[in-house]
């Protein structure tokens, strides 16, 4: 049975047509405890722990919420709580409030141990049991694995053996895992098998933090709440789609994670494939999680790499260059990378979506480090008008119409179209802009706030299920194999927009990349 069907029959969610709750009201998590594995790692320190405080500060956590750290450090509850205090002070989005902190600090516990230490997991079970009794956390436990995937099997097994994976008497147990979900299709299947042998799929929450971004969720609002866009959202009008996630940062110090992984596995397999799915999918029957997943799975099943791969893909590695007025080193001179590393820091692929809506429309996906600037956007580039009743020179400067969803920074939507230049009939491109900052007073919450709250509420819409993850690998695997067999990535100068092969990839089809 597919996960979507499992979810439909699990009885965990109400029928959306009968659920009359006012969805505008804030949703507050019920009693629970969250255990963080890898609490000393960067992710937990900079994202997970600060987001928990921000949720508490926004009044979205119950007063008895409890936070348990698990790790090898020689800490007691107080030392852990001091550490959390510092992280909250340094990285939280919302202002520090003593009364909120005092309440959170009361629920901080630390269990010292390694992942292969059965006794430590027995102590974890005791700690949770005591929290249930003393603070009324109700046996509801979330396990956040902010650890390398190679440790997932050991931790899942320990949780199982300690009796922590199985809920009792109406309580819940959920596991949160972070990408990378494997490094190819086979390893992803293996990983899913291991995790699912301990936690049923509806208790597994895979974090793809792009899905927690407001602008990414707005793709659905834009597409399905308006009449304006749908008629042109197809191959009759769209020439091609460009999905770009560019970063200006380099990788110094991240070699341990990134070397041997590369841009395609780090970003395309997850964030960019999810953006593609939301852009290309059909309208779901409702926003019930299973309906949304059904549509995403459907469209991902129709995606494949365009060939031949030497022409439709590009792979690059940054060399030294100038960025923001500063001279920066190339990847091979970055701390933590081997001098002969063939890891790509830039990747671009061409995808075909074999559906009635998209047949013949290429989707170009690219991502890279040390590019011109930090920007993530989805651009639908439209076909030319079939006829231009102007003197040819009047439209020399006219580009293709484009609808650009600006995911970050400067979140919003841009519509590019031709307009008359005052005083002549010359037509040039102009932009019509919607900006979140200008339209709404509310500040957007961090992606991790939204996602952690959804875990605690058992709301799975924004978490890719195992089938989506595997389909994304299935699409990408041939490119990874091809690159592995065909030598080194092409160098590009830091601060530019990628290697020459990426420009060539589009130029040979008569198109060009946008310069965001
Ligand atoms: C992570 C990648 O998933 O996303 C990083 O592993 C990348 O390499 C990061 O830098 C970017 O996230 P954001 O939210 O800053 O765009």
Predicted confidence (pLDDT) per residue in 200-226, tens digit: 999 999 999 999 999 999 999 999 999
Q: Which residues line ligand 1 (CB under 6 A)?
A: 209, 247, 266-267
Looking at the predicted structure, is the pLDDT value of residue 9 above 50? no
pLDDT at 97: 96
Which whole-number Å values give the CA distances from 84 to 42, 48, 131, 231, 348, in the listed order?
A: 13, 11, 18, 50, 39
Atom of ligand 1 nearest to the CA of 257: 6
Looking at the predicted structure, is the pLDDT value of residue 157 above 60? yes
- Ligand 1 mean position to 246 CA, how many Å? 10
Q: In this predicted model, which residue has the larger pLDDT, 42 or 374?
A: 374
Looking at the predicted structure, is the pLDDT value of residue 12 above 80? no
pLDDT at 253: 82
Per-residue pLDDT reduced to its tens digit, 282-297: 999 999 999 999 999 9
- The values of phi and psi at residue 4, to 5°, are -60, -45
Task: Give residue 369's Cα distance to chain centre.
Answer: 16
Count of residues in the chain: 516
Share of the chain above pLDDT 70, in %: 95
Residue 5 in 3-state DSSP? Answer: helix
Segment 111-140 mean pLDDT: 96
pLDDT at 257: 86
- The values of phi and psi at residue 150, to 5°, are -65, -20
Q: Which helix (H) or strand (E) holds 427?
A: strand 427-435
| 27 close to 36: Cβ distance less than 8 angstroms | no
Per-residue pLDDT reduced to its tens digit, 179-193: 888 999 999 999 999
Segment 323-348 mean pLDDT: 94
Looking at the predicted structure, is the pLDDT value of residue 10 above 70? no
- Ligand 1 mean position to 247 CA, how many Å? 9
pLDDT at 48: 96
Dist. CA 260–CA 401, nearest whole Å:
39
pLDDT at 254: 85
Task: Copy the structure tokens of residue 292.
Answer: 């949304």
CA-nearest residue, atom 6 of ligand 1 = 266
pLDDT at 21: 66
Per-residue pLDDT reduced to its tens digit, 440-492: 888 888 999 999 999 999 999 999 999 999 999 999 999 999 999 988 999 99
Share of the chain above pLDDT 90, in %: 84
Mean pLDDT of the chain: 92
CA-nearest residue, atom 10 of ligand 1 = 247
- Ligand 1 mean position to 284 CA, how many Å? 28
Indicate whether this model's pTM tops 0.85. yes
Q: Ligand 1: which of 46, 247, 472 to mutate, judged by most atoms within 8 Å of the beta carbon? A: 247
Binding site annotation covers 47?
no
For the beta carbon of residue 313, count every other beta carbon within 10 angstroms. Answer: 24
- 110 strand-pairing partners: 69
Q: Ligand 1: which of 43, 206, 207, 209 to mutate, judged by most atoms within 8 Å of the beta carbon? A: 209
Looking at the predicted structure, is the pLDDT value of residue 17 above 60? no
Dist. CA 2–CA 295, nearest whole Å:
13
Provide the pLDDT confidence category of residue 169 given band limits of 50, 70 and 90. confident
pLDDT at 13: 47
Atom of ligand 1 nearest to the CA of 270: 3
Binding site annotation covers 240?
no
Dist. CA 65–CA 31, nearest whole Å:
6
Binding site annotation covers 298?
no
Atom of ligand 1 nearest to the CA of 179: 3
- Ligand 1 mean position to 171 CA, how many Å? 34
- Ligand 1 mean position to 307 CA, how many Å? 28
| 400 close to 381: Cβ distance less than 8 angstroms | yes
User: Among 67, 49, 55, 50, which Cα is nearest to 106's?
Assistant: 67
Dist. CA 186–CA 21, nearest whole Å:
42
Per-residue pLDDT reduced to its tens digit, 380-416: 999 999 999 988 899 888 999 999 999 999 899 999 9
Task: Copy the structure tokens of residue 488.
Answer: 């080194």
Segment 15-35 mean pLDDT: 75
The catalytic residue positions are 271
* In 99-190, beta strands by DSSP E: 108-112, 141-145, 173-178
Dist. CA 110–CA 463, nearest whole Å:
28
Per-residue pLDDT reduced to its tens digit, 349-374: 999 999 999 999 999 999 999 999 99
Dist. CA 43–CA 88, nearest whole Å:
13
CA-nearest residue, atom 13 of ligand 1 = 210
Binding site annotation covers 179?
yes
Looking at the predicted structure, is the pLDDT value of residue 256 above 90? no
Atom of ligand 1 nearest to the CA of 213: 14
HEC-encoded secondary structure of 47-62: HHHHHHHHHHHCCCCC
Looking at the predicted structure, is the pLDDT value of residue 250 above 60? yes
Looking at the predicted structure, is the pLDDT value of residue 20 above 70? no
- Ligand 1 mean position to 317 CA, how many Å? 17
Provide the pLDDT confidence category of residue 19 given band limits of 50, 70 and 90. low
Binding site annotation covers 186?
no
- 347 strand-pairing partners: 315, 367
Sorted by where each starts, the structural domains of the chain and their CATH numbers stand as 6-178 (3.40.50.720), 211-385+463-507 (3.30.360.10)
């Amino acid at each position: 049975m597919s996960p979507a069907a499992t979810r439909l029959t699990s009885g965990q969610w109400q029928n959306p047509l009968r659920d009359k709750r006012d969805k505008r009201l804030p949703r507050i998590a019920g009693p629970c405890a969250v255990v963080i594995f890898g609490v000393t790692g960067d992710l937990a320190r900079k994202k997970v722990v600060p987001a928990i405080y921000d949720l508490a500060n926004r009044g979205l956590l119950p007063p008895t919420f409890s936070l348990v750290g698990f790790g090898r450090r020689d800490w007691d509850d107080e030392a852990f709580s001091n550490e959390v205090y510092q992280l909250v002070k340094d990285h939280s989005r919302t202002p520090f409030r003593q009364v909120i902190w005092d309440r959170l600090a009361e629920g901080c516990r630390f269990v010292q141990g390694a992942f292969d230490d059965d006794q430590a997991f027995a102590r974890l079970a005791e700690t949770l049991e005591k929290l249930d009794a003393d603070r009324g956390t109700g046996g509801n436990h979330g396990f956040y694995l902010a650890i390398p995937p190679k440790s997932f099997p050991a931790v899942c097994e320990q949780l199982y053996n300690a009796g922590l994976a199985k809920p009792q008497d109406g309580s819940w147990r959920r596991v949160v895992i972070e990408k990378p979900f494997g490094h190819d299709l086979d390893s992803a299947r293996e990983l899913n098998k291991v995790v699912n042998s301990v936690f049923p799929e509806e208790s597994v929450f895979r974090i793809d933090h792009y899905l927690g971004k407001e602008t990414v969720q707005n793709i659905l609002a834009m597409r399905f709440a308006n009449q304006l866009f749908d008629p042109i959202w197809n191959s009759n009008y769209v020439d091609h789609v460009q999905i770009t996630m560019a970063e200006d940062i380099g990788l110094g110090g991240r070699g341990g994670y990134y070397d041997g992984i590369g841009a395609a596995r780090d970003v395309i397999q997850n964030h960019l494939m999810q953006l593609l799915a939301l852009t290309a999918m059909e309208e779901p029957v409702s926003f019930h999680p299973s309906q949304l997943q059904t549509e995403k799975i459907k469209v991902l099943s129709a995606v494949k790499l365009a060939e031949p791969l030497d022409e439709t893909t590009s792979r690059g590695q940054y060399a030294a260059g100038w960025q923001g007025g500063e001279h920066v080193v190339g990847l091979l001179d970055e701390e933590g990378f081997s001098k002969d590393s063939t890891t790509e820091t830039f990747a671009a692929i061409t995808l075909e979506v074999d559906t009635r809506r998209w047949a013949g429309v290429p989707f170009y996906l690219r991502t890279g480090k040390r590019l011109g600037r930090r920007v993530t956007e989805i651009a639908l580039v439209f076909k030319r008008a079939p006829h231009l009743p102007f003197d040819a020179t009047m439209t020399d400067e006219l580009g293709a119409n484009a609808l650009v969803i600006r995911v970050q920074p400067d979140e919003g939507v841009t519509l590019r179209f031709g307009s008359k230049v005052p005083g002549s009939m010359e037509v040039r491109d102009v932009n019509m802009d919607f900006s979140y900052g200008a339209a709404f007073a509310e500040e957007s919450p961090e992606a991790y706030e939204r996602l952690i709250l959804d875990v605690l509420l058992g709301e799975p819409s924004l978490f890719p299920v195992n089938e989506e993850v595997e389909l994304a690998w299935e699409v990408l695997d041939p490119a990874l194999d091809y690159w592995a067999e065909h030598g080194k990535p092409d160098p590009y100068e830091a601060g530019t927009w990628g290697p020459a092969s990426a420009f060539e990839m589009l130029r040979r089809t008569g198109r060009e990349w946008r310069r965001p």
